[in-house]
Homo-oligomer: A and B are copies of this chain.
Amino acid sequence: MNYPSKLIENAVNEISRLPGIGKKSALRLALHLLKRDAGQTKSLADSLVALREQTCYCVRCHNIADSELCGICSNKRRDASIICVVTDTRDVLAIENTAQFNGLYHVLGGVISPMEGIGPGELNIDSLLARVADADEPVVEVILALSATMEGDTTAFYLQKKLKESNLKVSTIARGIPVGGDLEFTDEVTLGRSIVGRLVYQ
């Protein structure tokens, strides 16, 4: 496409490098900014640069933090005996929104994926093992809350093996039919897992 100016072309190219935004959407966003107050564009740009350059990570759980320890790790009311292992910060937010978990987290920063060249060495696994081995941290249980994909399962399997030597309870979040889900339309694998992992009432 022939853009009317170099500035538009540059902006469209930069915006369309973001995931899920194509050239057409990028052009729409660029033209939107041109119609709005210059201050809005400036504060958007500043917030992005500040985010990228000043964000720090919790030294204990690797979640995004404002200071050395994140808000969850520094909260004395959280149960330090349970660690929930997740892929990234978004998963922490998702689990926090359920209000069903009061323990601490450990953010791996990804999952093992040979296809994308991500091995255990690229993930925050050593620091997890150090946490559970640390006598100061009274860890009793590690919950693996990873996606139910091939990569997630591989990572869970790897962690389970690594954690075997410790005397910890290791669990994984339940696989089953989603709440509100129709039994008839649930795929066989999920349905099979929901039977194997059934909850016993009495």
Contact A34–B18 (Cβ < 8 Å)? no
* A97 nearest in chain B by CB position: B1
Interface size in chain A (residues, C-beta < 8 A): 57
State the number of copies, please. Answer: 2
- Determine if A160 is an interface residue (Cβ-Cβ < 8 Å): no
What are 17 A-B contacts defined by CB distance under 8 Å? A2-B96, A4-B65, A4-B93, A8-B51, A8-B55, A8-B64, A18-B32, A20-B25, A31-B88, A31-B89, A34-B51, A34-B64, A38-B52, A41-B48, A41-B49, A45-B46, A45-B49
Known: A2-B93, A4-B71. 12 other contacts (CB 8 A): A3-B93, A4-B89, A7-B50, A7-B55, A8-B55, A14-B44, A17-B44, A19-B32, A20-B28, A34-B52, A41-B51, A42-B49
